[in-house]
Structure 1
C-alpha cells in the first residue's frame, strides 16, 4: 500500500517529478554547459587606489606641524583592490561594485581566457555601490543578458561567479532565498534593495555575477551577512533592473548616477499603526513631510497619506520606493497608489532630479575672514539630496570646514542658522558676519535633527 501511495503522489506531482533525477544517466546532469556559456563574460578586476597620507590633528595645526612632520607618512599610499565584474555588451561595457573600482587610479580587467585590458570608469555611485566601466577590445566580447528583476522568484536555482580571495574564477551554487531585502547588506547598503541568495560569496566575489539557469544576469553580488567572516552566511546581489538603469545613464554620458527625487519624508507602516490607519495588515509608507518642490506634492499627495504601490509594485520602506523610482528613470512618470481616509487613489508622479533652485550661491570665505577657506552654500533641494539633510533644511550649509572650521566644531553638512543672534539666510550674510572686527562668536548650528551652540573667540 505504501508503494501505491508513493506512485500516486508522483503521478499527481508530475511537474515536480520531471525535475527529479529518475535514472543514473539523469544523475550525471550538471551545470557544466551553463558555466561554459556564462563564465567568459565574468572578469577579474585588479585596481590600484592611491590613498591620501594619514595626518594627525597636530600635523594640521600651523604651529605644531613643523614638529610632527614625517616625510614618510606624507607620501600617498598605494592600495590594491581585488574584485570581479560582468561584461554586459560586446563593445566592452562592464559592471562592478563601486567599492572595488570607484576610487581607483589604475584598473586592469582580466578575462576568463587570460586576455587583459585596461579600463576606465564611466559612471560610479557609492550609495548604490555600482560602477560602469569601459574596456576597448579589438574583437566583440562575450556578454550576459540582463533578466527582468520582476520575474525573479524565491526558490529559483542560481549560480554565483567571481574571483574569491584572488584564487581565480570560481562558481558556487544556491537558490534565490529572498527578494526585496531592504538595507540588509550592511556597509554600503546602496539603495537598500537586494536579491538574497544562499550561494556562497567570499571576498573577491564583489562585482561578480548571480545568474539564473538560462545564463541571464539576475544581479551583481555585493556583500554577505555572516558571523564567521566566511561564506556561510546570507549573500546579497543588486538587481539587474538597477544595473540596466546605470548602463543607460553611462551610455548617455553621465558620470554620476542621477536618481529621481521624491521630496518626501515618511516611515514604514508597522503592525501597531496598521489598525488605527484602517489597514488589515502592515503595508506602505505613511507620509510625514513634503517639500514644497516635491513631485508627490504636485501630484496631490498630502501629509498623512499612505503610499502602498509605486510602479505597480507594493512598497514597504522608503528605500523600496526610491529603488522603484530609480529603475523607472528620470524624465518619466510612474504610477503611485496611495490611501487617504480608507480610500485608494491612483496618480502619476513625475520623476525629476532634485531641483538646484534657488541657486546654491556656493562661496569660499577669503583669507581675511575669521574662518578662511570655509566653503558654504545656500540650501536647496539638490543640496538636501546630496548631503542627506533634513527635508525642512534651510539657510546656509557647510560644504567644507576648511582648515580652521574643525577647531571651532564645524563639520561638513552643518547648517549655520545664526551668528551672534543674527539669522543667516545666504552665504553673503556669513561673509559679512565673519569679516568684521568682532572677536567673540556664538554660532547656532543644526547637525541632523539636533541643534548646538558653538562659542569661540579669536
Structure 2
C-alpha cells in the first residue's frame, strides 16, 4: 500500500510540472508503471551504427630512401583503419529526420540506422555542429515513421520524472528512469564550457549518446549527450541537450542549411562572481558582465558597452555566456531579442537584432598554388565570421590558416593559426602570404599566433 501511494505521489508531482500529465486512476494503471509511455515513445528511438575510416600513421623510417630501396616503394605504406561507432538517435519527423550527437556520426563515412522493428536505413548528416554536439540526419527513402514530439524545454522543472531511452553498450534498446536533477548546466559536460544542458540522474551509459530523454507523457525533453564520471559508468550525473535547441537545428536542416547559423553577439562575457558584484555595487551576483565588444557587434549598435551586465534574454535569466548564447540561438537569426541590462541600479530592456556573424571585411579566401613553397595552404582574412568559426579573440585581425595543406602541416601550421609575418614582413591580407611564399629564399620563418601564444616556425627549402 505504501509503495502504491508513493508511486501515485510521484505522478502527482509530475502533473504539477507538466499540467497535461494524468495521474493514475486505478490499481491497474499504477501497476503498469511507465509501460504505456515506453510503448508510445520507444519506436521513435533508433540505434545508429557509424563507420569511420582513418588513415594510419606512417613510421618515419618508411620515408627513408634506404628502406624504400631495400624493401620496395610499397613497404610501410600506412593502411586505413576502420573504426565503428555505436550510438542512438531520435526520429523527429515521419519523413526521416533524426537527431543524434555529432561525436557519434560527425566523422562517419557510412551510417546505418536500425529501428525497433528491425528495419534498416542508410543515412547522411545534413547538418552537424561539433560545438553543440548535435547532428541532424536524413534517412534514405523513409516515410510514415514514428516520431517524438518536442516539448518546450523551458517548461521543464527540477524534480520531474524522466526516462532515458537508448542502446547502452550495444545490448539493445534500454529504458532507465530518474528525475530532472538540474537545469542550465554549463561547462560540465563538454570541457569547452560552451554547452548548455539539462541534468538528470536517469542512468546514461556509452551507447546512450543521442538517445531520448522524455517526460511521463512521452514528449522529448532533450537528447542525452554525456555523463560526468571517473570510472566510465553512470554515476547518476547525466546531461541532455534541451529540446528547444534541437528544434532550431531541425528547422535549419529543413531549410537546407549545411552549417548551423547562430545569432552573433560579438561580445565576450564573464560570469558574475561575488567579488565582481561587490565591485559593481550589486547586492546579489547575477547576470553576465560584458568584458569585450566587437566594433560591429549588434549589442554595441543597440547601445550596450563594456562593463554592462546582462541579466535576462527574452525574459529568461542568464548567468553565464553559454546560457546567453543558448537563449539567442533558440531565438534564431533574423528577428530580435530583448536584453535586460543592469547598469548601476538601473534596469533597462534593450532590443537587439539577431544577425549572423558579418563577412566584413571580405575573407578573400585564397589557396596557394604550385608556384609557392606551400601549395595547398588555404588562408583567409579575419572577419567576425572567421572569428566565430575558428574561435579567435574578438580583437583578432590579419590572415588565418583554414587548411595548412600537406606541406604546411609538415612545417607545423594548424587550422586557426594567424599569420603575423613571413621572413620579417608583416602579413595583412592573403595576397601578402602568396607574395611572401612565392620566392622566399632558402629559409622561411613564419611568425604566427596560436591561441594566446606567439610561435615562430622555421624551415629550409
State the TM-score, normalizing by the size of structure 2.
0.89
1:273-314 CA distance string (max 9 Å, x none)? 111112222211211211111111111111111111112111
Aligned residue in 2 for 1:444: 447
Matched, 1:173 2:177: yes
Structure 1 residue 179, shift from structure 2 partner: 0.3
1:116 is the counterpart of 2:113: no
Residues of 2 paired with 1:255 and 1:22: CA distance? 48
Residue in structure 1 matching 2:163, options 148, 159, 163 = 159
**Alpha-carbon displacement from aligned partner over 1:184-220 (angstroms, at most 9, x marks no partner):** 1136x68410000000011111111000011100000
Say which of 130, 141, 145 aligns to 1:126: 130
Partner of 1:339: 342
Deviations along 1:90-122, whole A, 9 cap, x unmatched? 222111111112222222221112222222222
In structure 1, distance between residues paired with 2:144 and 2:25:
41
Equivalent residue, structure 1, for 2:272: 269
Deviation at 1:164, TM superposition (A): 0.9
Alignment size in residue pairs: 442
In 1: Cα distance, 2:427 partner to 2:335 partner = 37
CA contact (8 A) 1:128 1:190 kept: no
Q: 1:30 maps to what in 2?
A: 33
Q: Aligned residue for 2:328?
A: 325
Per the TM alignment, residue 170 of structure 1 is displaced from its structure 2 partner at its CA by 0.5
- The reply to whether residue 74 of structure 1 matches residue 78 of structure 2 is yes
Distance in 1, matches of 2:89 and 2:313, equals 30
Instruction: Tell me the distance in 1 between the aligned counterparts of 2:255 and 2:25.
Output: 51
Shift of 1:87: 1.1
Instruction: Return the offset for 1:439.
Output: 3.5
C-alpha RMSD over aligned residues: 2.7
Which residue of 2 is the match for residue 106 of structure 1?
A: 110
Equivalences for 1:37-56 in 2 at 5 Å? Answer: 37-56=40-59
Structure 1 spans left out of the alignment, 5+ residues? 1-14
Structure 1 residue 237, shift from structure 2 partner? 0.4
Give the CA deviation at 1:342: 2.8
- Superposed, 1:217-366 pairs within 5 Å as 217-366=220-369
User: 1:406-434: CA deviations, max 9, x gaps?
Assistant: 45443221111123433211111122222
Distance 2:205 2:374 in 1: 47
User: 1:383-403 CA deviation, whole Å, 9 max, x = no partner?
Assistant: 111110111110111222233
Between the aligned partners of 1:57 and 1:156, the Cα distance in structure 2 is: 57
1:135 corresponds to which of 131, 134, 139: 139
| Deviation per residue, 1:28-78 (Å, 9 max, x gap) | 24111111111111111112222223235666x696894797667633222
- Tell me if 1:145 matches 2:149: yes
Deviation at 1:245, TM superposition (A): 0.3
Cα distance in 2 between the residues matched to 1:161 and 1:309:
33
Q: CA deviation at 1:453?
A: 3.6
Give the C-alpha shift of residue 370 in structure 1: 3.5
Query: CA offset at residue 252 of structure 1?
Result: 0.3
Q: Does 1:394 align with 2:397?
A: yes
In the other structure, the counterpart of 1:185 is 189
The answer to whether the 8 A contact 1:124-1:130 is kept is yes
2-structure distance, mates of 1:323, 1:341:
26
Secondary structure, aligned partner of 2:56: coil
**Alpha-carbon contact 2:368-2:378 (below 8 Å) kept:** yes
In structure 2, the residue matched to 1:403 is 406
Match of 1:86 among 85, 90, 93: 90
Change (3 A) 1:89 1:25: closer
Q: For residues 142 and 296 of structure 2, what CA distance do their matches in structure 1 show?
A: 48
